[in-house]
Structure 1
Amino acid sequence: MFRKILYGLLFIIALTIYALQRLHFSLPSLINNYLNDLLYVPIALGAIQFIIRRLKKDPLFQLPLGFILFLSSFYSFYFEYYLPKVNVRYTADWIDVLLYFIGGVVFFLLQRRNKF
């Protein structure tokens, strides 16, 4: 139950920030520039884990650290290296890369404690 509430809360926070950005609301710079980058990997990993648990009918399935690091690396490469080269809307920011990995490590640690 804790997991569902936490994911719902993370998703609502990320969606609210995105909507406020689209509506051109002025947000504090830390929230505007970095919070969704921190939340993105745990939300994506949680969705992947949920789908795999349902498909395998294994409620205790946990994502391996290698997969978590791979996904964090992929998002870092795609959003912070590739997209800024092909679309002016995106900018490369090494802090975002760090936040993707922090989010992945937090997800890994929480799932190991059976909280996520």
Structure 2
Amino acid sequence: MKSLKLVFFLYCILFAILQVLYFLDYPLPNFIRFYLADFLCMPIVLSICLLVVQHLKKDKSLRLNITSISSVFLMYTVYFEIILPPIHWRYTADFRDVLLYLAGSIIFYFLQKAP
């Protein structure tokens, strides 16, 4: 669990730095500009979900099961890649985003099981 907390902390810092760079309009490679946030998304969101569940249940040994992780992954995929692109100009449907959501979900699944 310590490894998950460390990754969560590092991902949050990396995401914050990325947002500052966006705000400053700093030139970034396209992969970082368009895809890094998608990769960071699932581990951050799922870590927050896990912490909330552990707090509510008062059981620090709880872990999210594959069904819960898959549900969040599918919800993000449907919402951000299917529902939003036709109704808001800022969002575009991109299969690479889905793959990055999936990669982040898989990383979270294994990190939460680590000691």
TM-score (normalizing by structure 1):
0.91
Structure 1 residue ranges (4+ consecutive) displaced by more than 2 angstroms after TM superposition: 1-6
Structure 1 position 23 matched with structure 2 position 24: yes
Tell me which amino acid in the other structure corresponds to 1:101: L
CA distance in 1, matches of 2:5, 2:108: 14
Shift of 1:2: 4.1
Q: How many residues align?
A: 114
The equivalent of 1:42 in structure 2 is 43
The one-letter code of the counterpart of 1:113 is A
Q: Higher relative contact order at CA 8 Å, sep ≥6: structure 1 or structure 2?
A: 2
Give identity over the alignment, percent.
36
Give the Cα–Cα distance (whole angstroms) in 1 for the partners of residues 16 and 84 of structure 2.
21
Structure 2 CA distance for aligned equivalents of residues 34 and 84 of structure 1: 16
Structure 2: gaps spanning 5 or more residues: none
TM-score (norm 2): 0.92
Name stretches of at least 5 consecutive residues in structure 1 with no aligned partner. none
Query: Is residue 2:56 matched to residue 1:55?
Result: yes
